[in-house]
């Protein structure tokens, strides 16, 4: 692999990690909201 390819791969991996954290945060918030809504009904 060339240096530019490795740099690109590292960038893609960092973006994937950021998106996974974002998804986990949103999923947690979604479950918390569902829990709150089920208690109100």
Model pLDDT, residue 16: 98
Q: What are the b/e assignments for 2-41, b being 16+ CB within 10 Å?
A: eeeeeeeeeeeeeeeeeeeeeeeeeeeeeeeeeeeeeeee
User: What pLDDT is stored for residue 1 in this prediction?
Assistant: 86
Q: Taking the model in full, what pTM does it have?
A: 0.75
- Tens digits of pLDDT across the chain (41 residues): 899 999 999 999 999 999 999 999 999 999 999 999 999 76
């Amino acid at each position: 692999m060339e240096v530019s390819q490795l740099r690109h791969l590292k960038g893609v991996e960092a973006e994937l990690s950021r998106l996974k954290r974002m998804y986990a945060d949103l999923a947690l918030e979604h479950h918390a909201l569902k829990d709150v809504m089920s208690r109100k009904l």
